[in-house]
Amino acid sequence: MRKKIIAGNWKMNMTFDEGQKLTSEIVNMFKDEAVKDVIAVLNPPFPHIFPVKKLIGDTPGIALGTQNCSAMESGAFTGEVSAKILASFGVQYVILGHSERREYFKEDNELLALKVKQALAHGLTPIFCCGESLEIRMAGTHESNVKFQLTASLFDLSPEDMAKVVIAYEPIWAIGTGKTATADQAQEMHAALRRHIASKFGKELANNTSILYGGSANPGNAKELFSKEDVDGGLIGGASLKSRDFIDIAKSF
Ligand code: PEP
């Protein structure tokens, strides 16, 4: 059975105090409201890792992630943070290939393949993002575009490694715009991605791969999105900064 996951992407938000308050609220609500059968992954900016980890403690169902890691193992790479360092601080997940990293920091499929390998080598679960621009959707080539992102960055992995990867389908036109993909549009793409994974790694592995939807998901639309067969959860930006909204989304399965 594949895992249901809600991953909160804080992006470049939250001061120390704000991050502590948000995490405490999420942990308390998660426990008090007995949220279950879902993994909630908090992905704060790097400096929050240690204090957020302490607040999460051993709360079942809540995990710690980050929004990036280096493609390098270690050494003279000023400003970089390696998967090895993250793992040593108890980080379990890492978002890779977010469209903002692809666009603003020019991360391409080849670099992302290296980052995925680093993450896996150090026991981190990559949440690998893919998704098309509005231009590509209008041109009708969205399916092949997104499949190619997977092929180029993930299809060199061994089946053992691929089985550990989580996919996030995030249409760029829906991220932070308030314009969510319809549940049917999400389902269509998730099913296509699952078929694509099956074509390389087999049906069983594809059926066990969690594929999350990201793009203006909120408590008002999460239930419908998560009701779709191939939608296994969400990568949540804006709504992950409000504890009530994040928990309500986690309760939307
Ligand atoms: C994201 O940043 O991954 C995201 C989905 O953002 P939002 O939910 O704000 O659209």
203 CA distance to ligand 1 centroid (A)? 29
CA distance 59 to 176: 29
Q: Please state whether beta strands 39-43 and 5-9 pair in parallel, antiparallel, or not at all (unpaired).
A: parallel
At 168, is the secondary structure helix, strand, or coil? Answer: strand
Alpha helices in the chain (DSSP H): 16-32, 49-56, 83-88, 99-104, 109-121, 134-139, 142-154, 159-162, 183-201, 203-207, 222-226, 243-250
Tokens describing residue 159: 């089946």
Q: Is 214 in the pocket of ligand 1 (CB under 6 A)?
A: yes
* 215 CB within 6 A, ligand 1: yes
Q: Give the per-residue pLDDT at 195.
A: 98
Exposure string (b/e) for 126-148, b if CB count within 10 Å is 16 or more? Answer: bbbbbbbeeebbeeeebbeebbe
Has 43 been labeled as part of a binding site?
A: no
Q: Indicate the top mutation candidate among 67, 95, 236 to test ligand 1's pocket, ranked by most ligand atoms within 8 A of CB.
A: 236
In this prediction the ipTM stands at 0.98
Separation CA 16–CA 100 (nearest Å): 23
Level-2 CATH architecture, domain 5-250: Alpha-Beta Barrel (3.20)
| Distance in Å, CA 172 to ligand 1 centroid | 9
The pLDDT value given to residue 178: 86
Atom from ligand 1 closest to the CA of residue 100: 2
Check 100, 107, 132, 170 and give the catalytic one: 170
Q: Using the 8-state DSSP alphabet, how is residue 103 labeled? A: H
Residues of the chain with pLDDT under 50: none
Q: Is the CB of 70 within 6 Å of ligand 1?
A: no
Beta carbon of 238 within 6 Å of any ligand 1 atom = yes
Closest CA to ligand 1's atom 7: 237
What pLDDT does 176 receive?
A: 87
Q: Quote the tokens at residue 90.
A: 């108890």
Give the pLDDT confidence score for residue 179 in this predicted structure: 85
**Residue 1: predicted pLDDT:** 83
